[in-house]
């Protein structure tokens, strides 16, 4: 499986991310690893958003705005991976690359 396919698979929810991670472990490719890291960050932000969503009054607003932003970031990442470009998502994409070096 080529790196671009692995990068695209990593965008398919948590299951796709796990599959892409496992496949990439055998034959690490920079392009696939890049998007595996980006999507791990999006997954973690999504989980954090769900935790913050339980805050009375503020939680639902955070979930609505944060959910829309995360969807836009995910979509941007998916489009860039399909186009063959290595671009970080806005705001935290560069930090994801640094934080998740091991992937």
pTM score:
0.89
Q: How far is CA 86 from CA 57, 65, 74, 81, in A?
A: 38, 26, 14, 7
Structural contact between residues 32 and 24, judged by C-beta atoms closer than 8 angstroms: yes
Average pLDDT over residues 64-86: 95
* Residue 87 predicted with pLDDT over 90: yes
Average pLDDT over residues 86-98: 94
* Residue 1 predicted with pLDDT over 90: no
60-71 residue pLDDT tens: 999 999 999 999
Residue 57 confidence (pLDDT)? 87
Average pLDDT over residues 9-18: 94
Structural contact between residues 52 and 59, judged by C-beta atoms closer than 8 angstroms: yes
Q: Enumerate helices (H) and strands (E) in the chain, giving the number of each.
A: 5, 0
Q: How far is CA 70 from CA 15, 66, 99, in A?
A: 18, 6, 18
- Measure the CA–CA gap between 64 and 86, rounded to whole angstroms: 28
Taking all residues of the chain, what is their mean pLDDT, rounded to a whole number? 93
- Measure the CA–CA gap between 83 and 96, rounded to whole angstroms: 21
* Residue 103 predicted with pLDDT over 80: no
Residue 7 confidence (pLDDT)? 95
């Amino acid at each position: 499986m080529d790196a671009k396919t692995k990068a695209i698979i990593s965008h398919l929810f948590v299951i796709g991310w796990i599959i892409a991670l496992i496949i990439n472990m055998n034959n690490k490719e920079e392009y696939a690893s890049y998007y595996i890291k980006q999507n791990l960050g999006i997954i973690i932000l999504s989980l954090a958003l769900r935790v913050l969503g339980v805050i009375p009054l503020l939680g639902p607003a955070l979930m609505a705005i944060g959910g829309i932003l995360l969807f836009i970031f995910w979509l941007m990442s998916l489009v860039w991976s399909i186009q063959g470009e290595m671009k970080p998502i806005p705001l935290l994409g560069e930090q994801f690359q640094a934080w998740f070096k091991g992937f």
